[in-house]
Structure 1
Amino acid sequence: MSERIRNAAQIVPSARQVAWQELEFYSFIHFGVNTFTDKEWGLGDEDPAIFNPREFSAKQWVDVCKSAGMKGLILTCKHHDGFCLWPSAYTEYSVKNSTWRGGNGDLVKEVADACREGGLAFGVYLSPWDRHDQRYGSSLYNDYLKNQLRELLTHYGDIFCVWFDGACGEGPNGLKQIYDWDGYYEVIRELQPGAVISVCGPDVRWCGNEAGHTRDSEWSVVPAELQDCEKIQEESQHVDDGEFSKRTNSRDENLGSREAIQGKDKLTWYPAEVNTSIRPGWFYHASEDDKVRNLEELLDIYYKSVGGNSTFLLNLPPDQRGLIHENDAKRMAELGQKIKSTFQHNLAANANASATEALDENHDANRILDGDKNTYWCPKEGTEHAVIEIDLIAEQAFDRIVLKEHIQSGQRIEKLRMEYLHNGSWEQFSECTIVGYKRILKFPAITARHIRLTIEQSRWCPTISTLEVYLSSH
């Protein structure tokens, strides 16, 4: 094993990255003047008075998110049109000049408060591109954006995420802005050190498309140059021609394998987030009320993202009332019920495990069954292959297995297979490449008492913190 692979095995996440990964599934809320003009990207010349969600209920948004099993919410506090959903002291183009709440409202505050009350983490999206502000295209604009960040990061409690995209079009003067990314990051680190900076940021990586496409092998340890990818305008959003959100980029299919990291100067922990919308658009359009993604499609993305070492950021666009539409809300409740019923009864809770090797008694095989995310099995350093056998105590029917590595120790596993004991011989029923934070294996139901996990390839030495066994409800 090369020194490079051993070093790659020992790259670990920050505490903020671990906390973010544990959220697993959370919502994007695209809401603003576009909701009232039926556009996707506003021009920045919309009259603030049109913003008037008469039945707005942040609690309804939170309730819908919770019904789906989501653990967080990211709000578009300012989109490309420049309209601010909070009464910013640095611009007049905000809710303070809208009809809503007589100009006295603060939508960001109401959503942040509802999230806190409902137990959801709260995050903010702030568009660096601004098609309204006259300062755009000058150094004054960078100061303006930093001032807005300070407002959002000091007035609304704990923020789990600041989400930037790299959209960089022309402002009202026909100028483009050179973004002071490092300056923005400094403000965030100073005021909200626990917040991840996503996509155009060093903490969370864009999966590369908006279609819900996922990789079969999603590595969290990747070349550090990827941290600059979305900040380069050509690599990021173009004016949406309706096709961008459907594109996937196969050249990015392999980011962290041994081949992909060979010859790269620097590697970093830069995990992926899968973001897509429940509808074709990101903002609400009444014409899309019958185009809400079906349950099977959403479940498929959930399994491949949350169950494939990514997180799942699903957009739910509220309508002109200020409510998440009934069709979307109904689908979220169905999704949440399906996920909950599938993963509520762990058939391995009282099982026994034994391994070919363990580092010591604190890292023996039963650590994978104890329900404690901080304990884990691992073999001796340098052992790359190992076998764990699980005795479920009684015959059980099952069709889902959840595996987790102890990512605080790095991402190590490259290939494994699962077998069950059938008439005295071991028969394979599933296999995968990476595990990472979480891998969900799906397969046709089998009945067995004994399961065997064989790690065929890993870096330095593997770890497993969790193995759970489930039978989905069909």
Structure 2
Amino acid sequence: MKQLDERLINIVPSERQVMLQKTEFYAFFHFTVNTFTGTEWGYGTESPEIFNPDQMDAEQWIQAIKAAGMKGAILTCKHHDGFCLWPSKYTNHSVKYSPYGNGNGDIVKEVSDACKKAGLKFGIYLSPWDRNQETYGQGQAYDDYFVAQLTELLTGYGDIFSVWFDGACGEGSNGKKQVYDWQRYYDTVRNHMPDACISVSGPDVRWCGNEAGDTRPSEWSVVPADLSVAERIAALSQHADDPSFRQRVISSMEEDLGSRERLAQEQHLIWYPAEVDVSIRPGWFYHPQEDNKVRSLENLMDIYEKSVGGNTTLLLNIPPMPNGLLHEEDVKRLQELGGEIQKRYGKNLTEGAEILVKGQNEWNAVRSVYQDDYETCCHGNGPKAEFKISWKTPQKISAVILKENILKSQRIEAFEILSMRNGSPVSIYKGTTVGYKKIARFPQIESDILIIQILDSRIEPVLSFIGIYE
């Protein structure tokens, strides 16, 4: 077991992967000709003439997501229909040939500029499947086209934190499918934007397995290397607009990706954290009939706490309307969401607490877990550790946040939180993995002492932060 654990903790994240996990929560904007036709997947035959968001306001989008506490945004610069939201030199199927801005519009620039102005990160989505491009399905000819467009985006809009590819692979206008040259695409990103994460159909971040906001109870970042190719296999990719992809949850067969038992026989392991992508509405693009189907605050908080608080990042889609604005219901919900996150996690009760860690025969004060950073951290003594948090007066408590120093890998396998009642410990929460961040939420208690027990970990736990919240 020790030999396996030593092998597992040698798998650590890259700087770009750490950056993305620290970003935690960011937006997706699905916007293209589909917004004007009412479809989810366009056909590539749509006229650019239909694209005219006459009240376009990218700053409204960015201020709305910033109010929710998001730290970045990813724009669908080109979806499967092949329509480009920037004036690409390589096609007539773009905003340049639409009425918007009298042919001088550039939605990508507007959104990237709005992000910069607000201090948020900007990312791009570029669909490898292009149902409009005549070279699609012709091998290198299409790869040349795709790389040329990718290069335009990587070199024309400043810093990019995420390049988001999906694995959708269907027929083009000529009835043929393309075998994507993924490595060439990755090399292009690394060459022009080396700090950007390549997500989902890429080597840096993996898909959580559904579009319903469902998460695993135990989410591991150290997983078999084979997972990095799954989304790139055409046979496994999405070929049609199937609503079940937005509704399915993780099956039991897929739940265990990184336990000791799962990894014991694996020869090649990688750090490959998960991202949860979900839309605030049933569809990914705007449909007026869904104005009364915006996710509830309760549902969004549940997704947030299980994703951001479950060792994944959260990518929440908010689709703009044809006029170029976000709907007032979406904006309202985002404001509510940001307010609720701040209400629950804005005040850390450890500021007035004493935190002790149990040594061989005594409790010792520990200061290294008060600050949310990797500059200081607390190592356990062997695979277990025990922390005691105490206050001079009883506190109302309903959540605990734990964070590992992931620069030292992901180690914790099991933990338990207890409160003291009448001098006796009472279990209030049992968990498994922690990773970058774990939000342990439970019915509110009132206590002047909490005990956090790390029951099992790989070699030893390395805890970087403890937060206690009302």
TM-score range, shorter chain: over 0.9
Q: Which residue of 1 aligns with 2:86?
A: 86
Equivalent in the alignment of 1:378: 379
Instruction: Give the whole-Å Cα distance in 2 for the aligned partners of 1:444 and 1:385.
Output: 26
Alignment partner of 2:259 out of 257, 260, 263: 257
Structure 2 residue 178 is the aligned partner of structure 1 residue 211: no
Mapped to 2, the partners of 1:269 and 1:262 lie a distance apart of: 16
Give SS of 1:450's match.
Answer: strand
2:469 corresponding residue in structure 1: 470
Q: How does 1:173-184 map to 2 (within 5 A)?
A: 173-184=174-185
- Answer yes or no: is the 8 Å Cα contact 1:29–1:318 preserved in 2: yes
Q: Is the 8 A contact 1:197 1:203 kept in 2?
A: yes
Q: How does 1:357-376 map to 2 (within 5 A)?
A: 357=359, 365-376=366-377
Q: Which residue of 1 aligns with 2:221?
A: 220
Alignment correspondent of 1:353: 355
8 Å CA contact 1:83, 1:93 repeated in 2: yes
| Cα separation, 2, equivalents of 1:379 and 1:19 | 26
Counterpart in the other structure of 2:126: 126
Q: In 2, distance between residues paired with 1:249 and 1:303?
A: 17
For the pair 1:98 / 2:108, whether they are aligned, the reply is no
* Aligned equivalents of 2:128, 2:210: Cα separation in 1: 20
Letter in 2 for 1:185: Y
SS at match of 2:133: coil
In the TM superposition, what is the alpha-carbon distance from 1:357 to its structure 2 partner? 3.4
The offset of 1:364, in angstroms, is: 7.0
Stretches of 4+ aligned residues off by more than 4 angstroms: none
Q: Is the 8 A contact 2:57 2:325 kept in 1?
A: yes
Q: Is the 8 A contact 2:224 2:263 kept in 1?
A: yes
Q: Residue 201 of structure 1 corresponds to which residue in structure 2?
A: 202
2:311 to 279, 304, 309: 309
With structure 2 as the length reference, what TM-score do the two structures score? 0.97
Cα deviation 1:239-268 (Å, max 9, x = unaligned): 023222112241211101112112111111
Equivalent-residue separation in structure 1 for 2:301 and 2:167 (angstroms)? 29
Letter in 1 for 2:88: S
CA–CA separation in structure 2 for the residues paired with 1:370 and 1:24: 17
In structure 1, C-alpha distance between the alignment counterparts of 2:365 and 2:122, rounded to whole Å: 38
Aligned to 1:395: 394
Name the structure 1 match of 2:410: 411
- Alpha-carbon distance in structure 2 between the residues aligned to 1:80 and 1:416: 44
- Partner AA of 1:387 in structure 2: E
Task: Say whether the 8 Å CA contact 2:280–2:317 is kept in structure 1.
Answer: yes
Q: In the alignment, which residue of structure 1 is the partner of 2:157?
A: 156
* SS class of match (1:355): strand
Query: Which residue does the alignment assign to 2:299?
Result: 297
Contact 1:77 1:86 in 2 (8 A): yes
Distance 2:181 2:424 in 1: 62
C-alpha contact 1:352 1:393 (8 A) present in aligned 2: no
> Counterpart of 1:187?
188
- Do residues 271 (structure 1) and 273 (structure 2) align? yes
| Matches of 1:372 and 1:308, distance apart in 2 | 18
Amino acid at match of 1:110: E
CA distance in 2, matches of 1:378, 1:81: 52
Provide the C-alpha distance between the structure 1 equivalents of 2:214 and 2:186, rounded to a whole number of angstroms.
28
Which ranges in structure 1 are unaligned for 5 or more consecutive residues? none
Give the match's secondary structure for 2:240: coil
**Secondary structure of 2:8's match?**
helix
- Counterpart CA distance in 2 for 1:107 and 1:304 is 33
Overall identity of the aligned pairs, in %: 53
Partner secondary structure for residue 465 of structure 1: strand
The DSSP-based 3-state class of the residue aligned with 2:440 is strand
- Which residues of structure 2 form unaligned runs of 5+? none
User: How far off its partner does 1:341 sit?
Assistant: 1.2
Deviations 1:447-470 (A, max 9, x none): 111111111110011011111111
Secondary structure at 2:393 match in 1: strand
Distance verdict in 2 for CA 1:282–1:426, change over 3 Å: same
In structure 2, distance between residues paired with 1:290 and 1:385? 49
Q: Which amino acid aligns with 2:194?
A: P
Counterpart of 2:60 in structure 1: which amino acid? Q
The 10-residue stretch of structure 1 (445-454 or 277-286) with the greater mean CA deviation from structure 2 = 445-454
1 CA distance for matches of 2:365 and 2:189? 41
Instruction: Determine whether 1:451 maps to 2:453.
Output: no
Q: Deviations over 1:346-405 (max 9, x none)?
A: 1111322222239xxxx973211234442110035xx10121112233321110111100
Alpha-carbon deviations, 1:131-176, whole Å to 9, x = none? 0000101211101111111110111010000000000100001110
Match of 1:431 in 2: 430
Alpha-carbon distance between aligned partners in 1 of 2:104 and 2:146, rounded to the nearest angstrom: 22
For residues 17-166 of structure 1, the aligned pairs below 5 Å read 17-138=17-138, 139-166=140-167
CA contact (8 A) 2:354 2:365 kept: no
What per-residue deviation string (whole Å, max 9, x for no partner) do you get for residues 320-339 of structure 1? 11011111111111111100
Give the residue type in structure 2 aligned to 1:35.
Answer: T
- Distance in 2 (CA, whole Å) between partners of 1:468 and 1:254 is 27
